[in-house]
Amino acid sequence: MKTIQQLLNDPATKIIDVRSPGEFASEHLPEAINIPVETIANRIDEIKSMNAPVLCYCRSGARSGMAVSILKQAGMQDVYNGGSVYDLLFELQKN
């Protein structure tokens, strides 16, 4: 299992913000893709085709946890719950 820091440092990692488009517009991680949690199930093929580790995040970690669960049920293994956008922004600042 990879750590959040390892995932953030890996340029291959795909970062998915599962919040609403409005929340995403107000702030998000660099390189993040906005795929709201309610659309994850409809975009599984797109996410699988990324062929990379996937790190999901939201405001608190609840929605990203749901997204990770959906992706794992669809057979993806290399998916992680990054928790809160604020925690991840803090991790990025440590570099």
Q: Which residues are catalytic?
A: 58
| Cβ neighbours of residue 41 closer than 8 Å, sequence gap 6 or more | 70, 74
Provide the terminal-to-terminal Cα distance of the chain, rounded to the nearest Å: 21
- C-alpha 67 chain-centroid distance: 8
Q: Which two structure tokens, joined as six digits, stand for 68?
A: 């990770």
CB proximity list for 31: less than 8 A, separation 6 or greater:
15
